[in-house]
Structure 1
Amino acid sequence: MGNAHPRRIDSLEESLTVKSLLIRVNELHYYLLLGTKFGGMLDQLTDRAGTAGLMMTLATFYPEYTFWLQVSMVIDITCHWIYLHTTILQGKTSHKFIDMSENPIMHVYYTNKTVLFFMCAGNEAFYAALYVMYFYTGPTVFGIGLFKLIALISFPIAVIKAAISVIHGIVASMNLATIDVNERAALANKQKN
């Protein structure tokens, strides 16, 4: 256990993590914030910053897992960044708009609100359980501390969510390559004329 007090949770980190989960539950947020380019960008920036802060904190709590926490953070930031950037270049109004011709996993992930909520909540539960578990294992359930049990149950969801982030990066890379090819073809046609 650490020497920090369990109630001493970084307020920015806590508010960003809680915000991430509440956004997915609250439909009003979609219309007020995610319905705009600024809102979508702000949502992504706060999610990535909050996750990075939490990963850095967890790496100090669990130094033996620093490498994996860094890998998770790099996947999260880079794959979401290229996906959001490509979305903007394609002229889409939101990174959550998925064309049917794109990856079917991404389509289900963003069009089925139950799947999206389950994946986001499970991912948040894993990292939140790791955070709380550092200070307090919780009451014993099935012979194991509650927060450790939550971490064990939600770990596969966090791994799947990381894999979906990698798919974000692959889909975005393919779309970005298509944008490059189309722009070069348009430039070549323009230079011919």
Structure 2
Amino acid sequence: MAPRRRNAPVDVDAEEALGLATAQSENVFLFVPNLIGYTRIILAGVSLHFMSYHPIYCTIAYCVSCLLDAVDGQAARALGQTSKFGAVLDMVTDRCTTSCLLCYLSSVYPDYALGFQFLIALDFSSHYMHMYSSLVTGSSSHKHINNDVSRILRWYYNDPLTLFVVCAANELFFVSLYLMKWTSTPIGLPDYIPWSKTLTYAQLFALFSAPVCATKNIINVVQLWKASKILVGVDIAERKKLKKI
């Protein structure tokens, strides 16, 4: 297996890192992409506030928060403001925002609560394992994947359009499930189309986005498995090194 190492990690301990952050010769907290990240968090909070009683405000705030996910990365690269803090902030915001929506869906679809809980666990565990395996192998970013590691992960992470479409459709599926509890007005399709008399826009969006959502979670499974194998490989390498000492 080819290594994923791009840049060696900076040799700095926790105490020195805290000192640098406190001195703030360059305020990473106020980088433009990180400000966008804070905006995403605020919008996610607004959506959670309205989630139980105002679907329009909730959906608008949630969708704008998700769409800004495509902006912060571009801003970071354009302004030369990429940072480890920003990368983690982005990932944590994604995970928490989706998980909060899934928690709500568990309450409105109690028969499927176990499934939603599984998706939350899979999402968190796969991304945590993937991020950690990237760190221990010295990769400069969790998005830097070689074909030797995983073709599907390389396809997913290294093509910005693919990453955006898959993530957007994944969120669209969950938002559609949310809206299905609030909307009952049929689209008004011709009678010869199946379910034409009862099909709503929310149901239609859910049908179209469901395959992509399934693909996203298959990718999560692959990500979890590959990260686990990488960590085991690192363990084996370290144990061999210790035995030689």
* Superposition TM-score tier, normalisation by shorter sequence: 0.7 to 0.9
**Deviations 1:10-34 (CA, angstroms, capped at 9, x unpaired):** 99xx45x643332225511456698
Q: Distance in 2 between matches of 1:153 and 1:31?
A: 33
Give the 3 Å change call, closer, same or farther, for CA 64–101 of structure 1 in structure 2: same
Gaps spanning 5+ residues in structure 2: where?
1-50, 190-195
Larger Cα-atom Rg: 2
**Structure with the greater relative contact order (CA < 8 A, sep ≥ 6): 1 or 2?**
1
The residue that corresponds to 2:158 in the other structure is 111
Q: Give the Cα separation in 2 of the matches to 1:80 and 1:146.
A: 32
- Taking every aligned residue pair, what percent have the same amino acid on both sides? 31
Which whole-Å deviations, capped at 9, do the CAs of 1:44-94 have from their partners, x for residues lacking one? 111111111110011111112111111111111111111111111111121
Aligned to 2:70: 24
Contact 2:59/2:175 (8 A) holds in 1: no
In structure 1, runs of 5+ residues without a counterpart are: none
Q: TM-score, normalised by structure 1?
A: 0.85
Q: Deviation string for 1:129-179 (max 9, x for gaps)?
A: 111222124551532101110011111111110010011101101110111
> Contact between 2:173 and 2:210, CA under 8 Å: does it hold in 1?
yes
Aligned equivalents of 1:35, 1:145: Cα separation in 2? 42
Q: How many residue pairs were aligned?
A: 186
Say whether residues 1:177 and 2:232 are aligned partners: yes
User: Which amino acid counterpart does residue 55 of structure 2 have in structure 1?
Assistant: P
Pick aligned residue for 2:116 from 49, 69, 73:
69
Is the alpha carbon distance of 1:86 and 1:18 closer, same or farther for their aligned partners in structure 2, counting shifts above 3 Å?
Answer: farther
Among candidates 147, 151, 160, match of residue 202 of structure 2: 147
Q: Is the 8 A contact 1:34 1:43 kept in 2?
A: no
The letter for the 2-side match of 1:53 is C
> RMSD of the TM alignment (CA)?
2.5
Distance of 1:73 and 1:54 partners within structure 2: 10
